Structure 1
Amino acid sequence: MITPTFGISDYLATDAHRGPRTDTKCLRYRLEVVATSAVDVVHAAGGWLYDRATAGWEVTVVLPSGGGTRPLQILGARTADLETGLTESRPGGQSLAVSAGAFAADDRVRERVLEALEHRSGEVALWGDEWPWGLNSAISPVRHVLSSAAQAFKRQALKAAGIPCGSVESVETLFCDTRWWG
């Protein structure tokens, strides 16, 4: 049997004209977080976001306009305005994290969560109280153990948000679509 071959120099020569990848072409995991405030995100999932960001994930937090973003920058997250963030096209395989407050406040957020759960297009993580009964069968509590660095950066982010804290819990609990994992 004859196997076709190629020269590595041919590949490098044709690939070189493309130039470096831009951020939009980079193959990175993406986490989109939707919440009502930066304080809500930092308090409930700040350590988890930090651990994702330092692992190379592109973390974007979508918030209503007018909120302070410094605590989220400390955690390594980018921010987007709610109106812009919800209308942008999103790549497949993206993870989604949503607060109960954001879910209750905006039909578009509810629609996005339900669509992601139905189609299993990516990981879905939720936090907060007051979730509708229909979601209970699709989600289960998952504990994330924070790295030491995540605890330190979360503490600084909480301080930047004006929330005094002596110590940060070493575990954050989110409600995740465990069907996606299995």
Structure 2
Amino acid sequence: MHELDERDRQRDVSRSRQRTPRLARYQLDVVGAHVADVVDSAGGWLFDRVMAGWDVRVAVADTGDLAALHILGVQPVALSAMFGGGHTPTALAVAGAICRTDDRLRDVLAASVRSARTEVLAWGELWPPSGGRHGAEVRHELSAAARVFKAQAAFAAGLDAKVAPFEVFRSYGQSVRTDYPDLLPVG
């Protein structure tokens, strides 16, 4: 009799787990010029966000060998997947140079900055999204694991495997509030 009660209890627990919705995860969408650009400019930060439980999708304008992105634990996607679809990521990061060449991306970024619902970051070339704002400079200090994985990804992308202890970005608008902030003001 005890055995039947225990099996019934386990079945009830299993059913209740199936009905419990999975907690929504933060999503970071990233657009870079090419894999080496993403790895060199933001690879450590992307790795640390993946390790913190974020879903990180990366699209590059010049596709090639995506092994370096896999090393960082991010999900490579087609550039077209970043536009439309009705979803709004929690954060969006882009190579500033891409904004000068892709009108769709520039429009999405400007709308994200205006809405103030999405954390928007850029690296490299300065890109003033709307109203000529140049954004606040922020930096991410890489964890020890991020430095190791970024070095491996850099090697896979054909870059020098020497990794700086931090990465610098321009922040436009709202930043994501978490228990462990990973982007700190520079200066």
TM over 0.5: yes
Q: Does 1:76 align with 2:83?
A: no
Q: State the distance in 1 between where 2:137 and 2:122 align.
A: 9
Q: Does 1:16 align with 2:15?
A: yes
1:94 is aligned to 90
Task: Report the alpha carbon displacement of residue 164 of structure 1 after superposing the two structures with TM.
Answer: 2.6
For residues 112 and 159 of structure 1, do their structure 2 counterparts lie closer, same or farther at Cα, with a shift above 3 Å needed? same
Q: State the distance in 1 between where 2:38 and 2:32 align.
A: 6
- Gapped regions of structure 2 (runs ≥ 5): 1-10, 178-187
CA contact (8 A) 1:138 1:179 kept: no
Q: Deviations over 1:123-164 (max 9, x none)?
A: 111101142474652611001111011111000000000113
For residues 128-167 of structure 1, the aligned pairs below 5 Å read 128-132=124-128, 134=130, 137=133, 139-165=135-161, 167=162
Q: 3-state SS of the aligned residue for 1:35?
A: strand
CA contact (8 A) 2:113 2:129 kept: no
Indicate which of 43, 47, 55 corresponds to 1:46: 43
Q: State the distance in 2 between where 1:177 and 1:133 align.
A: 8
Normalising to structure 2: TM-score of the pair? Answer: 0.78
1:85 is aligned to 82
Task: Report the alpha carbon displacement of residue 178 of structure 1 after superposing the two structures with TM.
Answer: 4.8
Q: State the distance in 2 between where 1:38 and 1:85 align.
A: 16
Task: Report the alpha carbon displacement of residue 87 of structure 1 after superposing the two structures with TM.
Answer: 3.1
- Gapped regions of structure 1 (runs ≥ 5): 1-11
For residues 57 and 179 of structure 1, do their structure 2 counterparts lie closer, same or farther at Cα, with a shift above 3 Å needed? closer
Task: Report the alpha carbon displacement of residue 83 of structure 1 after superposing the two structures with TM.
Answer: 1.8
Q: State the distance in 1 between where 2:64 and 2:131 align.
A: 28
Task: Report the alpha carbon displacement of residue 48 of structure 1 after superposing the two structures with TM.
Answer: 0.4
Q: 3-state SS of the aligned residue for 1:125?
A: strand
Q: Deviations over 1:98-123 (max 9, x none)?
A: 11122112111001110110001111
Aligned length: 167
For residues 98-137 of structure 1, the aligned pairs below 5 Å read 98-132=94-128, 134=130, 137=133
Normalising to structure 1: TM-score of the pair? Answer: 0.80
Alignment RMSD (CA, Å): 2.7
